[in-house]
Structure 1
Amino acid sequence: MNVYVLELAKQLANLGHFVDVFTRSQDTENPPIVQVSDRFRVMHIVAGPQGNVPKKDMIQYIPEFVENVLTFCRTENLQYDVMHCHYYMSGIAGIQLQKTWKNDGKKLPIVSTFHTLALMKNLVARGELEKEDHVRIDAELALVHDSDAIIAPSESDASYLEYLYEAKPESICVIPPGVDTKVFHPIPKSKARKEVGADPKEKIVMFVGRIEPLKGIDMLMYAIKVVNKDEPQLPLKLYIVGGDVSQDVSLWSAELQKLESLRKVLRIPDVVKFIGQKPQHELAYYYNAADIVVMPSHYESFGMAALEAMTCGVPVITTNVAGISGLIDERKKALLTSVNNPLLLASQIEYLLTHPKTHAQISAELKTKVNTLEWKNVAEDIVEVYLSCLK
């Protein structure tokens, strides 16, 4: 989500619009206002303690955030034309801001992007601890009702918003996220592998993303075990890119520790490598070093990692519940897999790794398919949504 907000704001500014991004201050070292460019600023608003706050505790600080935003805008004599809320907590703040400004005689339309939906996350949750609570669900329902427009990243999410949240179809605009083609583009595999320290002979399958249960990483590890058994001659590696692995294993997140235990249970400790989180410019090398990127999610509103990989010309196998599956030609059965079906996924990975001509053809087709999804084009489409709210 941070990448989405940053790239969209940069492109809106490049198109000549003034953009202020309000976010909660997490570090006293950060100045209250960061001037990113002539037309793009980031405001760090104090709300609660400095530092990271668990998501479940964040709600209690929203009133303070709203009050401090209002104070800042009054002090600076700021007025806006449109408010774009990202994620449900920003939506809670946005509704409160809209009501206050409406009482002051100022009309400010709300455009909402949810990024993920609680009801869908709860549908695929494996236990009560993974489920989102009623506070988030109620907030999303309220935001759907109060938004002047909703931007959905995929047709599937648009359908969920319409049927599960009772959003008005005319308020939903489907605009997939973009990709920075200056960062993500094809790089010679030999150069990429040298940069990331990978063996030129390895067959690298890669996952990139947050380390959480709904991402289906465990299913991918089961599939890799099957491939390793079926094709023992393949120098197979699974790179898991994400999470904090800079400390001792005992200090890893609970989900990372589960995956580390699974690696041992499946007896593939030399096959699976935990790489940790990487910045965007390094990610480009990792994508290009990979033979295949897999997104085995139980639910994914879109899947920016898959889009970034495709832009680098790397074949992506994704579950058929991910929003990005709409970009993949349905005839390419090798690229669409099922949730919790490691045998099917294993067969698809094996096929791509052992059929170089098919692999090369898919790589070329994917690069052509995603060329239109540059952030500049996405920003232009979103500006049209903003303008429609002002009519």
Structure 2
Amino acid sequence: MKVLHAAETIKGGVATVMRQIALANVASAEVEDIHCLVPENQKSEINGLSPDNVITFKRTGRNIASFFSFLRVFIVSIRQYKPDIIHLHSTFAGVLGRIALMILYPIYRPKVIYCPHAFSFLMEGNKLKKSLYKNIERLLLPITDAVICVSEFERNAAIENGLKEEKLHVVYNGVPVVDTNKIFPNPYQEDVVNLLFVGRFDYQKGFDILSAMIEKLKGKPFHLTIVGGAVHGEDIYPDLPQTTYTGWLSSDKIAPYFSHADVLIVPSRWEGFAMVSLEAMSYGVPVVSSNCTSFPEMIFPGKNGYMFDLSSPASLTEIVENKSKEGWALMGINARTIFMEKFISERMIEGTLNIYKKSLN
């Protein structure tokens, strides 16, 4: 089979998923040809893939010029490589790509796999926008052979919003297994509970909830390390007590922070299937998250972490305060075990490939 992956932007978890699946496609005897269409300024996000397998388009932002650039290269790539499978990643590629395929339908009909990486109608927002997103998804479903949902929560929500159940398939995200015997230098203080946050400084990621938490822990034996940056890349770092900012880090440079953290904090208001939680668990780090969207499918309270109720964000501080370094370490053992059982990348890759094969049959 020939596979074309396409995304309008791949920053964050989308890049992690696409890279792993694409590399597996390259290595698979069942995949004859594979290409990834990504923004020119983001191609480093899928490092490890041969340049021969990467197609780029010019993207300057989420604007009309960039959308037309994506569409032009997308259509040219279809005509050149004639893929059997087109795997569209995230909402904008899902909309643009499927509109183009509707136009091409009379002359070319590949199988279309779409993964929204969290439907837009699941995000917080006004009812009009959510209704618009829902109707767009329903309108484009007939040209879609399979929709990959990253959680049971997402699949159930899609069904409730009128998407056909038989087209919805759950494949949990996964990340590679790390060697926990590898020794990294400890970047933290050793006499405090080290809290880690990885992500954007925005409302979705609950940065305000995180800030309130560390303010309440002021003067107590806790330290927060924040890996990430502001929404639009500005070098603005709020003045928070007992907090260290690292900026964005590559996977190699972030490894010591995962390896030595006591607990990862994920106070998101909505997510698809948070990759950062899986990465932490792969290192044997427990997770404290909100109880939104898919977190109940990966966090098992008292085993590999805890969840706080978003309607009571102050309870996050109570959860963090009531556990010692030794207690977190014991939960970290469970976190690694649960990760190995449910969330290794091989499971995600196998599930995705099975959907490809079923759609072709």
TM class, shorter-chain normalised? 0.7 to 0.9
Q: Contact 1:145–1:167 at 8 Å: present in 2 too? A: no
Q: Contact 1:292–1:316 at 8 Å: present in 2 too? A: yes
Count of aligned pairs: 343
Query: CA separation in 2, counterparts of 1:51 and 1:337?
Result: 38
Query: CA separation in 2, counterparts of 1:147 and 1:378?
Result: 20
Q: Is 1:208 the equivalent of 2:220?
A: no
Report the secondary structure of 2:117's partner residue.
coil
Return the letter of the residue paired with 2:176: D
Partner of 1:363: 332
Report the secondary structure of 2:322's partner residue.
helix
Report the secondary structure of 2:300's partner residue.
coil
Query: CA separation in 1, counterparts of 2:196 and 2:212?
Result: 14
Query: CA separation in 1, counterparts of 2:199 and 2:223?
Result: 17
Q: Per-residue CA shift, 1:322-368, capped at 9, x if unaligned? A: 4133122245496111115343111111122x262x32321111111
Superposed CA RMSD in Å reads: 3.1
Query: CA separation in 1, counterparts of 2:190 and 2:304?
Result: 28
**Pairs within 5 Å for 1:180-219:** 180-182=176-178, 185=180, 187-188=182-183, 191-193=184-186, 196=187, 198-219=188-209
Q: Is 1:71 the equivalent of 2:53?
A: no
Q: Per-residue CA shift, 1:227-283, capped at 9, x if unaligned? A: 335xx3x1x2111111169xxxxx963xx74x616x3xxxx2xx1222211111122
Partner of 2:265: 294
Larger Rg over CA atoms: 1
Q: Contact 2:277–2:287 at 8 Å: present in 1 too? A: yes
Distance 1:42 1:135, change over 3 A: farther
Q: Contact 2:34–2:53 at 8 Å: present in 1 too? A: yes
Query: CA separation in 2, counterparts of 1:80 and 1:301?
Result: 27
Return the letter of the residue paired with 2:275: M
Q: Per-residue CA shift, 1:112-132, capped at 9, x if unaligned? A: 111122222234x8xx9xx96
Q: Shift in Å at residue 19 of structure 1?
A: 1.6
Structure 1, gaps ≥5 residues long: 246-250
Q: Contact 2:262–2:329 at 8 Å: present in 1 too? A: no
Report the secondary structure of 1:3's partner residue.
helix
**Pairs within 5 Å for 1:1-391:** 1-16=14-29, 17=31, 18-26=33-41, 36-37=49-50, 41-45=53-57, 50=58, 52-53=60-61, 55=62, 57=63, 59-74=64-79, 76=80, 78-104=81-107, 106-123=108-125, 139-164=136-161, 166-182=162-178, 185=180, 187-188=182-183, 191-193=184-186, 196=187, 198-228=188-218, 232=220, 234=221, 236-243=222-229, 253=234, 257=236, 260=238, 263=240, 268=241, 271-330=242-301, 332=303, 335-339=306-310, 341-352=312-323, 354=324, 356=326, 358-372=327-341, 373-391=343-361
Q: Contact 1:152–1:174 at 8 Å: present in 2 too? A: yes
Structure 2, gaps ≥5 residues long: 1-13
Return the letter of the residue paired with 1:43: I
Distance 1:62 1:103, change over 3 A: farther
Q: Shift in Å at residue 211 of structure 1?
A: 2.5
Q: Shift in Å at residue 223 of structure 1?
A: 1.7
Q: Shift in Å at residue 156 of structure 1?
A: 1.0
Q: Shift in Å at residue 317 of structure 1?
A: 0.5
Report the secondary structure of 1:80's partner residue.
coil
Partner of 2:5: none
TM-score scaled to structure 2, two decimals? 0.84
Query: CA separation in 2, counterparts of 1:324 and 1:62?
Result: 32
Distance 1:202 1:162, change over 3 A: same
Q: Shift in Å at residue 202 of structure 1?
A: 3.4
Query: CA separation in 1, counterparts of 2:18 and 2:82?
Result: 20
Identity among equivalent pairs (%): 20
Q: Contact 1:205–1:239 at 8 Å: present in 2 too? A: yes
Q: Per-residue CA shift, 1:173-196, capped at 9, x if unaligned? A: 1111111224x74655xx341xx3
Distance 1:386 1:178, change over 3 A: same
Partner of 1:248: none
Q: Per-residue CA shift, 1:279-301, capped at 9, x if unaligned? A: 11122211112111010011111
Report the secondary structure of 2:124's partner residue.
helix
Query: CA separation in 2, counterparts of 1:4 and 1:367?
Result: 20
Q: Per-residue CA shift, 1:201-240, capped at 9, x if unaligned? A: 33211111222211112112212222335xx3x1x21111
